[in-house]
A and B are shown apart, each in its own frame.
Chain A
Amino acid sequence: MKRRQFIQTASWGSAAGVLGLSGCATVGSGSGPKVVVVGGGYGGATAAKYVRMWSDYGIQVTLVEPNASFVSCPISNLVIGGSKTMGDITTPYDNLGKRHGVNVVRGFVTQIDAEKRLVKLADGSELSYDRLILSPGVDLMMDTLPGMGKPGAQDKILHAWKAGPQTLALRQQLEAMPDGGVFAITIPLAPYRCPPGPYERACQVANYFSKAKPKSKVLILDENDDVTSKGPLFKKAWAERYKGIIEYRSKHKLVDVDAATNTLKFEFNDDLKANVLNVLPMMRAGDIAVKTGLATANKRWCEVDFLTFESKAAKNIHVLGDSIQVAPLMPKSGHMANQHGKTCAAAVVALLTGKQVNAMPIYNNTCYSFVSDEDVVHVASVHRYDAEKKTMLTVPGSGGVSSAANELEGRYALAWARNIWADTLA
């Protein structure tokens, strides 16, 4: 690394900022160290913004993201429930470029050469890096369900577990379903993205049914032994608000589906048909992380050093968000990915500028679930680094859940969304 050049760029960037020029306008033309970020979700977009900010705009950052805009998974269940629109959960990437000078490239990474420090894109172009930040989210292990490989199956049986076209498509399936029909959602064994998400979705669908299709039912078929997050709060909502609409069944391991007949097949339980199937297959780190050999935990998740988020399998590659092998009691959530992004950004800036990496990260997680259009329950936790165990542990005595679903937290939940979207993208 050429430190002198970096310092020059950094001070020039700061001076330009003071003068009101956009130091950010010099995208890609500087001579500072290069960081490439792959994936513009909560982890990657946050990391891209904060590497720029915290290097005083001295480190060049390129963010590679296949989607035109950021579509939030949190709040997307409200689109399925009908109280929010796709527009409400969509944010453009413009500000990362305009305000922070991130070079946002719309593209898809097909290959990473860790030795040459090169990222190859589907269009044939290449990007070199000093450090790579990989935040590819999850990919769904469709091959664990043979029936999903049949032509058309994946167009009919949706997961809607990456907010986007499937979110709207699932909403349309619910709208098209006749009253008296059944919506069935299957949940894989933890860990999976967003532990309370499937239970929130069940509430949202039931809320819609209670207003528009009161004879319809929601079936939750969970491979886990019990509800994996906010259990008593969700069960209370199902028993009281959605009595006779939601039915919860645990220990249902899905092994196959038949899209032609809308049938779910379980390891031990009887086959089950429903009008609308919402199948959440097993998940693992995004394909590019697996392909690069970073998914060393069960061949599914990427092990990282929690001080820097550097991969334990490859130098100069940092992995964030839902792709990582999490620390104990650390959820795979957007809020947590944003925290990973900032912790990693600080470490990457320190490593590239010869400063000390923070030896004691501490951050929190806050997760709100809507049990109706307005009433919300939360789970919160605080995680701090344990130097002896070299992992993040929850702080004893901290954290907890709502005492009951309430409307005040419904307002906080939407304010949370506005704030985290801004912290990630604005």
Chain B
Amino acid sequence: MKKIHTAWTLALLLVAASASQAQAVDPLQARSWAAGCANCHGTNGRAEPGMESLAGVSQEDIVKKMQDYKTGRRPATLMHQISKGYSDDQIQAIAAYFAAQKK
């Protein structure tokens, strides 16, 4: 009985996981989107002095910052204008890409 229960839980978890990844992005597409940030934030997110590096920053932190730029909670010179050009899913995918890069 316990075994069956566990199996069910596992199955449910798998369904939930696949649902949350319904918008899963092809890694090469995410890499290309992230490369659009490299002009200012460095190749693969490793920036030159004067700009913020994104490589190795947690996905959560990047997503939060971008959302705060979008809503205006976080002051910016231009990131409030840039962040509004990206969907929530795109921001998630780009943030995951940078989080996975070496600092």
Contact = CB atoms under 8 A, between A and B. Distances in A.
A416 interface: yes
Interface in B64-96: 77-78, 81-86, 90
A356 B84 contact: no
B43 interface: yes
B84 A397 contact: yes
A364 interface: yes
A181 interface: no
Interface stretch (A232-240, A317-325, A406-414): A406-414
A85 B17 CA distance: 56
Contact of A362 (B28, B33, B47): B33
B41 to A, nearest CB: 7
A233 B9 CA distance: 60
Contacts of B85: 362, 364, 381-384, 394-395, 398-399
A418 B36 contact: no
Interface in A342-374: 342-343, 346, 350, 355-356, 358-364, 366
Contact of A398 (B31, B35, B81): B81
A408 B38 CA distance: 20
B56 interface: no
Contacts of B26: 356, 358
Interface size class of A (residues with CB under 8 A): 35 or more
A362 B36 contact: yes
B42 A362 contact: no
Given A380-B81, A398-B84, A402-B77, A418 B50 contact: yes
Interface size class of B (residues with CB under 8 A): 20 to 34
A135 to B, nearest CB: 16
A409 B81 CA distance: 14
Contacts of A356: 26, 28
A346 B32 contact: yes
A423 B43 contact: yes
Contacts of A255: none
B50 to A, nearest CB: 3
A92 B39 CA distance: 18
Interface string A385-426: 000000000110111101000101101101110111011001
A342 B50 contact: no
Contacts of A346: 28, 31-32, 35
A408 B77 contact: yes
Contact of A366 (B29, B31, B35, B40): B40
A54 to B, nearest CB: 8
B86 A382 contact: yes
A343 B32 contact: yes
B12 to A, nearest CB: 32
B28 A366 contact: no
* Most chain B CB within a 10 A radius of its CB, from A50, A335, A409, A423: A423
A294 B33 CA distance: 28
A378 interface: yes
A362 B50 contact: no
A342 B86 contact: no
Contact of B32 (A342, A398, A408, A423): A342
* Most chain A CB within a 10 A radius of its CB, from B41, B82, B90: B82
A338 interface: yes
Given A338-B39, A423-B43, A395 B84 contact: yes
A41 to B, nearest CB: 14
Contacts of B35: 50, 342, 346, 363
A342 B44 CA distance: 12
Contacts of B41: 419
A380 B32 CA distance: 19
A363 B29 CA distance: 12
B54 to A, nearest CB: 11
27 contacts: A53-B43, A338-B39, A342-B32, A342-B36, A343-B32, A346-B32, A346-B35, A356-B26, A364-B37, A364-B85, A366-B40, A366-B78, A366-B82, A380-B82, A382-B82, A382-B84, A395-B85, A398-B83, A406-B77, A408-B77, A416-B51, A418-B50, A419-B47, A420-B40, A422-B42, A423-B38, A423-B39
Interface of B: 26, 28-29, 31-33, 35-43, 47-51, 77-78, 81-86, 90
Given A53-B43, A398-B83, 13 more contacts: A335-B39, A342-B32, A346-B35, A356-B26, A362-B33, A363-B33, A363-B35, A366-B39, A381-B81, A408-B77, A416-B40, A419-B39, A419-B41
